[in-house]
Amino acid sequence: MSWDTQRSGAGPVDSELVSLDAAELARRIHAREVSSVEVTRAHLERIEAVDGPAESGVHAFLHLDADGALAAAGAADRAIADGGPVSPLAGVPIALKDNLTTTDMPTTCASRILEGWRPPYDATVVTRLRAAGLVPLGKTNLDEFAMGSSTENSAFGPSRNPWDLTRIPGGSGGGSSSAVAAGESPLALGSDTGGSIRQPGAVTGTVGVKPTYGTVSRYGLVAFSSSLDQIGPCARSVLDAALLHEVIGGKDANDQTSVSAPLPPVVEAAQAGARGDLAGVRVGVVSEFSGEGYHSGVLAAFTDAVRVLGELGADVVEVSCPSFAYALPAYYLIAPSEASSNLARFDAMRYGLRVGDDGEHAADEVMSLTREAGFGAEVKRRIMIGTHALSAGSYDALYGKAQKARTLIVRDFTAAFETCDVLVSPTTPTTAFAIGERSDDPLAMYLADLCTIPSNLAGNAALSVPCGRSADDGLPVGLQVMAPALADDRAYRVAAAYEAATAGSAAGPRIPELRALETSR
Ligand code: GLN
């Protein structure tokens, strides 16, 4: 693959604004050193320069709403000029994964089956960020219905990793993470069912957080696997993620799994972590997450990160969680089982696409023609696996057994958290792989979530923070920090301390200078 060095516009970063943290942008906007409209414009220009064309640019966005964004930015500027209290992130742009419902933009889940559908309501997280004055720029690409680890399962073509456009940006939320990594948006929202915020965060060199299950409302998140799905922040710093976490989190009567417990003090923890050391914090290194299948460059970066945690005063020990070996097979029975039920709602009657509605076909034929045309191969595979796992003859041997494995994984976490405050591991076994490399090998694709899935099955908090580059290929590596349920603040504290201790040591720019890939001539 060659690079088109002649291409103008998609070269050096044209505005400093697109490389700043959300917290710094908010500070400047609130001090009226720059307006939210100017900040929003700079990001729209950056998107214009690097996101397209779809065949060769970053392709983080499926839908842009420049007019809506500039209107929201203008409203934020007026609120600030009025001098009243504004939320800490008022005026800051944000990108939304396209499985979150929005009344003013389409919601496609990167699937043909939702073509033309306009949701009648905003997701709770969207309502909250609008109320807090954030500025939605558009909707980001994902693997269809969030099923995948690379965004290659999008019906609209893959997103690309801004650090190497020939490689995947992770998935399913590769659009959100690549937008943040590329300077197209300082913040984004993702959803994490098996790793879809943390794994893209790791491979794009950004921060990705899966909050404790039930602490961020799933109302308006198109359901994939309801007992695992969780919305969370994507950002370029730990503090930015915490600030966004506080905007979206907290009890919501519209989500029955929403918990009443107060949101852990994540912003305070991120600030304390950045200022302080980790004296007395007990850090457990999960011994199962290394060995065969892990890149040596990933393990080296991880080992170095653990050394830094030790230097910060943490007590580092090894812990074994033997049942984590069952996490991947358990997940790939439970998630498809729930998906097979959740995706039954796409029946050609209620949403989007309808094929064969010509008076010649009965309703059940219209349904199957629509599902045949509207769902991609991976979605069909999951529906079939899930339907089989739930069928009378297989239920106990497959779905039932997976639920038992899930219990064992929960117990491993409980035991580990008796002696450790947090657990750490690499976020992913490898760095970003090449686009196309694993598309014909579902098992290889599933392995990308080996380290992230246990926290979805157990429901605890987990995040990924950048921990340098792999010496093998120069690509970003992620450090995963896992904390007990409702102790998200611990993960933020450790990640912020690590980030502060290593600030400035990473070679190279914070966001890449991008040149679109040369398209075939
Ligand atoms: N990659 C995993 C899957 O394909 C996780 C996806 C997610 O977290 N949404 O199911």
CATH number of the domain to which 298 belongs: 3.90.1300.10
Residue 213 lies in a domain: yes
Q: How far is 168 from 143, CA to CA, in rounded Å?
A: 11
Scan for tokens 């919501």, then name that residue. 252
pLDDT tens for 90-147 read 999 999 999 999 999 999 999 999 998 999 999 999 999 999 999 999 999 999 999 9
Q: How far is the CA of 37 from the centre of ligand 1 (A)?
A: 35
Helix (H) or strand (E) holding 135: strand 135-140
Q: How far is 495 from 484, CA to CA, in rounded Å?
A: 15
373: left (phi over 0), alpha (psi -120 to 50) or beta: alpha
**Residue nearest atom 10 of ligand 1, based on CA coordinates:** 147
Q: How far is 368 from 349, CA to CA, in rounded Å?
A: 11
Residue 261 lies in a domain: yes
Question: Does ligand 1 come within 6 angstroms of the Cβ of 106?
Answer: no
> Which pLDDT value is given to residue 504?
73
Q: How far is the CA of 448 from the centre of ligand 1 (A)?
A: 9
Distances (CA, A) of 440 to 87, 90, 153: 46, 44, 11
- For 249, the 3-state DSSP assignment is strand
> Which pLDDT value is given to residue 516?
59
> Which pLDDT value is given to residue 6?
32
| Nearest C-alpha neighbor of 480 from the set 350, 288, 293 | 288
Residue 342 lies in a domain: no
| Chain centre distance of CA 451 | 15
pLDDT tens for 224-279 read 999 999 999 999 999 999 999 999 999 999 999 999 999 999 999 999 999 999 99
Question: Does ligand 1 come within 6 angstroms of the Cβ of 225?
Answer: no
Are 124 and 254 in contact by the 8 Å Cβ rule? The answer is yes
Give the nearest ligand 1 atom to 331 CA.
10
**What is the rounded radius of gyration, in angstroms, for the C-alpha atoms of the chain?**
22
Question: Does ligand 1 come within 6 angstroms of the Cβ of 144?
Answer: no
Residue 373 lies in a domain: no
Residues with Cβ within 8 Å of residue 253, at least 6 apart in sequence? none
**Residue nearest atom 5 of ligand 1, based on CA coordinates:** 194
Distances (CA, A) of 286 to 322, 401, 410, 424: 10, 24, 14, 6
Residue 118 lies in a domain: yes
pLDDT tens track of the chain, all 521 residues? 223 333 334 445 668 999 999 999 999 999 999 999 999 999 999 999 999 998 999 999 999 999 999 999 999 999 999 998 899 999 999 999 999 999 999 999 999 999 989 999 999 999 999 999 999 999 999 999 999 999 999 999 999 999 999 999 999 999 999 999 999 999 999 999 999 999 999 999 999 999 999 999 999 999 999 999 999 999 999 999 999 999 999 999 999 999 999 999 999 999 999 999 999 999 999 999 999 999 999 999 999 999 999 999 999 999 999 999 999 999 999 999 999 999 999 999 999 999 999 999 999 999 999 999 999 999 999 999 999 999 999 999 999 999 999 999 999 999 999 999 999 999 999 999 999 999 999 999 999 999 999 999 999 999 999 999 999 999 999 999 999 999 999 999 999 999 999 997 755 667 888 765 654 33
Residue 117 lies in a domain: yes
| Nearest C-alpha neighbor of 176 from the set 96, 93, 92, 91 | 96
Encoded amino acid at 109, one letter:
C
Ligand 1 binding pocket mutation candidate from 97, 172, 222 (most atoms within 8 A of CB): 172
Question: Does ligand 1 come within 6 angstroms of the Cβ of 335?
Answer: yes
Phi/psi for 282 (5° steps) reads -95, 115
* Residues labelled catalytic: 97, 172, 196
Residue 390 lies in a domain: no
Question: Does ligand 1 come within 6 angstroms of the Cβ of 456?
Answer: no
Q: Which domain holds residue 174?
A: 22-323+411-519
Q: How far is the CA of 172 from the centre of ligand 1 (A)?
A: 6
Scan for tokens 């991008």, then name that residue. 514
Q: What is the 3-state secondary structure (H, E, C) of 317-384?
A: EEECCHHHHHHHHHHHHHHHHHHHHHHHHCCCCCCCCCCCCCCCCCHHHHHHHHHHHHCCHHHHHHHH
Give strand pairing partners of 478: 466
Give strand pairing partners of 466: 478
Residue 253 lies in a domain: yes
Q: How far is 478 from 461, CA to CA, in rounded Å?
A: 16
Structural domains of the chain, count: 1
Strand 282-286 with 422-426, pairing: parallel
Tell me the CB-side half-sphere exposure of residue 61, using CA atoms within 13 A: 28
> Which pLDDT value is given to residue 252?
98
Scan for tokens 């990308």, then name that residue. 448
